[in-house]
Amino acid sequence: MGKPTGFMEIPRETLPSRPVEDRVNDWKEIYLDFPEEKQKAQGARCMDCGVPFCNQGCPLGNLIPDWNDHVYRGRWKEAIDSLHKTNNFPEFTGRICPAPCEGSCVLGIIEPPVSIKLIEVSIVDRAFKEGWIKPEPPAHRTGKKVAVIGSGPAGLAAAAQLNKAGHTVTVYERAPRVGGLLTFGIPDFKLEKHVVDRRVDLLREEGITFRTSCNIGVDITMDEIRGDADAVVLACGSTQPRDLNIPGRELKGVHFAMDFLTAQNHLNYGDLPDWMTSINVKDRNVIIIGGGDTGADCLGTSHRQGAASIAQFEIVPRPPEERAPDNMWPEWPRVFRVSSAHEEGGKREYSINTKKFIGDDKGHVKALITERVEWTKDENGRHAMKPVPGSEETWPAEAVFLAMGFVHPEKPGPIEQLGLELNPRGNVKADDNYMTSAEGVFAAGDMRRGQSLVVWAIAEGRKAARGVDAWLMGTSDLPG
């Protein structure tokens, strides 16, 4: 244990960020450097609990007390070795994960929890800076070939693990660059793309082949892929957005959130495809429908494009400042949060439902009509919503972004070509070893689990890789 009294003496600190007036003028990551001595001090706050619930709160089962202690003692090389035992890409999770581990931190019962996310990114950034993270190709090859469809966090994790096991791995990606959601979904101010490219370059040097701009069903069929591979991992994500079918939905200026975010990331790369239309909201009134992370990403992007005004709508009530009585530790704390994008401005409206879009004489959205709603519980404890009489409002809006989540994977493509069985939610059904209804075809990430976090996608990719390895070789030494 690092410092037995550390949690009593040292207050929680998190990464400082650049001033709002500076960061909204560029697309760079918002955080500033954090001195090494302060990083060590934050590691000293870890209590080294007898039962470390942070490990269980993390889908990857990260060895958090171990690397907290290493950081406190200045053992940075040991810290990155410990971190990499369970997480292939801590530079991603350390930046964009909402840190469910911190919600399960024992210290969090009585004090602000340990700054686990800060310590994680400090470790991996230090390791890259020192040159400790190098390509580690496998010592031998098994002769087995595996195709991975999709290069998001689940696909990359599966590919990395299968490559370590000695299989020859090819990753297929329909976008022109590797990374999936990491590259084209998450804005640069949260995750600069050189961070993704750096890891992808390492994976290439370790022997993984990437085929980009390769759309399954258009450029190559699943039959061709299966004919050349001994096993297939589907990691195509849950990319079908939830729509809002109300009057005026067809108006120009009403967009899905990911169309907005993806186009901006392409622009930042300088390679907007001919078939993709950029969306710019400079001097426009913007409404974002959806209060989650994707909505916040639209908010931060709209700030940087120079929107005249921005409001973010959420149909559910505003969360409480502290845990509600029915939201006990170590569950994820469902509390009010302020993201970096919210710090930059914009209104947040809760318990509000959009009823109608209004257009101008050119067929472009110019406003929307909302009503306030009340939430109650029925005798079975199920939530029910009812409108508040006389609460209608009209909001000016020349751009509207639908950020209400995703419903299931896209059906054209591998799912239809393979005739895969789906679960009741429309996701790909897989067994405990992650194999689908098609023998030798496995599924991982959002495609199997449904829309979730990057940390869950990495965990899914690792577990699917273990299933593939065991199916190919009869047993597997890969960690799950």
DSSP of 417-471:
HHT--B-TTSSBP--TT-B-SSTTEEE-THHHH-S--HHHHHHHHHHHHHHHHHH
Mean pLDDT of all residues in 15-29: 97
Q: Are 316 and 384 a contacting pair, CB within 8 Å?
A: no
**Largest Cα–Cα separation, the chain:** 71
Q: What is the pLDDT of residues 249-275, one digit of tens each?
A: 999 999 999 999 999 999 999 888 887
pLDDT at 1 over 80: no
Cα-based torsion angle of the residue sequence 399, 292, 182, 66 in order, rounded to the nearest 10 degrees: 160
Question: What's phi and psi for 234, nearest 5 deg?
Answer: -95, 120
pLDDT of residue 413: 86
What mean pLDDT is predicted for residues 77-88? Answer: 98
- What's the pLDDT at 314? 98
Collapse the DSSP code of 60 into the 3-class scheme (helix H, G, I; strand E, B; otherwise coil) and give the result.
coil
Residue with tokens 């929890």: 113
User: What is the model's pLDDT at position 277?
Assistant: 85
Please name the residue ranges forming H helices in 306-352.
Answer: 340-343
pLDDT tens track for 346-392: 999 999 999 999 999 999 999 999 999 999 988 888 889 999 999 99
Nearest by Cα to 445 from 231, 169, 95, 152: 152
**Is a pLDDT exceeding 90 seen at residue 331?**
yes
CB-CB contact of 392 with 352 (8 Å): no
Domains of the chain listed by start with CATH number:
6-130 (1.10.1060.10), 145-239+407-473 (3.50.50.60), 243-404 (3.50.50.60)
Task: Evaluate whether 180 touches 237 at the Cβ level (below 8 Å).
Answer: yes
Q: Which residues pair with 428 in a beta bridge?
A: 422
- Is 90 exceeded by the pLDDT of residue 411? no
Give per-residue pLDDT as tens, 107-135. Answer: 999 999 999 999 999 999 999 999 999 99
DSSP for residue 399: E
What one-character DSSP code corresponds to residue 109?
G
Cα(192)–Cα(32) distance, integer angstroms: 14
Question: Average of pLDDT values for 183-204?
Answer: 97
Neighbours of 463 (CB within 10 A): 24
Amino acid, single-letter form, for residue 289? I
The 10 Å Cβ neighbour count of residue 151 is 30
Residue 477 has pLDDT above 80, yes or no: yes
Instruction: Assess contact for 53 and 330: CB atoms under 8 A.
Output: yes
pLDDT tens for residues 29-63?
A: 999 999 999 999 999 999 878 889 999 999 999 99
The answer to whether the Cα torsion of 294, 189, 206, 63 is positive or negative is negative
Contact 195, 92 (CB under 8 A): yes
pLDDT of residue 2: 66
Q: Provide, rounded to the nearest whole percent, the portion of the chain with pLDDT above 90.
A: 93
Digit-coded pLDDT (tens) for 301-329? 999 999 999 999 999 999 999 999 999 99
3 state DSSP class of 113: coil
Each residue of 199-250: pLDDT tens digit? 999 999 999 999 999 999 889 999 999 999 999 999 999 999 999 999 999 9
How high does pLDDT run on average in the chain?
96
